[in-house]
Structure 1
Amino acid sequence: MERATWITHDRVSVGPAGAAKERGSAVVDFVLVGALLTMFFMSIVQLMLVLHVRNTLIDAAASGARYGALSDRTFMDARARTAELIGGALNHDFARDVTSTEVSIDGIRTLEVTVKAPLPVVGLIGPGGMLEVKGHADLPG
C-alpha cells in the first residue's frame, strides 16, 4: 500500500495514501447523515400519522353507522354522530364530507356512512377528498 507523507506543525506524519485529502470531512459526513436520518425519521412519523387518521376515520364511520342504525335514530343522526367523533378526535375539517345511505349487502339492508377527508401529507395538511372510508351497520327489521 502506498504511503503519503505530510508535515503538520513541525512533525512528519505517515499514513495511507489519500489520507490527507480525507482530513476534516467528518463534520460534513455527520451533517449529511444526520439530515438523511432526520428525513427518514420524519417520513416514518408522517406515515404513522396517515395510518392514525385513516383508522380514526374508519372507527368514526363505523360508530356513526351503528348509532344511526338504532331503531329510534335516523341517517341524519349517523352523519351528525360521525362528524362529532371526527371533530373530537382530529379536526372538524376532516368531517366536512360525511354522507349516509342505505345499501344492500348480500340481501341485507345496511346503513353505509362514507367519509371523504384530506390525506395528510405534511402534518395534518393535505389535499381534500383523497382519503375515503366507509362504515356499515345492519338496519333493523
Structure 2
Amino acid sequence: MARFRERGEHGSAVVDFVLVMVLLVPLVLGVMQLALVLHVRNTVALAASEGARHAAAWESTPEDGLARTRDQWDGAVAQRFVKATRIEVSEFAGAPAYRVEIDVAVPALGLGGPAVSFTVSGNAVIEPDPTGAVP
C-alpha cells in the first residue's frame, strides 16, 4: 500500500523569503543612499559656511577661505564627490559678504552610476578694518 505524503507548506519559506527580499532590499538601499546624500550635503554645507567665515575675517583672503573649506570636507567626504568650489563677493543686508559655493555629485551608494547633483553655499559678512581704513 502506497502512502501519500501530505503536501503542507514544505518549501514555502524560500518563496516567502524571496518575496520579502524583493521589497526589503530596494528599501534598505534607498535609505542608505538617502543617508549618504544627507551626510555629504551637511558636511559640505558646514565646510562652505566655515570657509566663508574664515575668508570674511579681517586680514584673511578669499584663497584662505577656499583652503579652509577644502580642509573641512577633506577627511569626511570623498574628493570625487566635490566637482567645483568657488568664492565670490556678494551683498547681504546691504553689507559686503563672501559667498562660498560648492557643486557636489553623489553617485548611487557612492559607487557609480547616476548621481544626485546639488549645490550648497555658505555666506559671511566681511569684517571691516578695525583701524577704520577703507580698502
TM-score (norm 2): 0.80
Q: 1:129 to 1:109 in 2, by over 3 A?
A: farther
Q: Is residue 109–residue 139 contact of structure 1 (8 Å, CA) maintained in 2?
A: yes
User: Which residue does 2:24 correspond to in 1?
Assistant: 37
Q: Which amino acid aligns with 1:10?
A: R
User: Which residue does 1:10 correspond to in 2?
Assistant: 3
Quote how far apart the aligned CAs of 1:125 are: 4.0
Quote how far apart the aligned CAs of 1:85 are: 1.4
Quote how far apart the aligned CAs of 1:21 are: 9.2
Q: 1:121 to 1:129 in 2, by over 3 A?
A: closer
Paired residue secondary structure (2:119): strand
Deviations 1:27-53 (A, max 9, x none): 112122124212211211110111110
Higher-Rg structure is 1
User: Which residue does 1:104 correspond to in 2?
Assistant: 91
Q: Is residue 105–residue 117 contact of structure 2 (8 Å, CA) maintained in 1?
A: yes
Quote how far apart the aligned CAs of 1:127 are: 5.7
Question: Structure 2: where are the runs of 5+ without partners?
Answer: 129-135
Paired residue secondary structure (2:75): helix
Quote how far apart the aligned CAs of 1:129 are: 8.7
Identity percentage of aligned residues: 37
- Between the two proteins, the alignment pairs up a number of residues equal to 127
CA distance in 2, matches of 1:28, 1:63: 53
1:80 and 2:67 are equivalent in the alignment = yes
Q: 1:23 to 1:128 in 2, by over 3 A?
A: closer
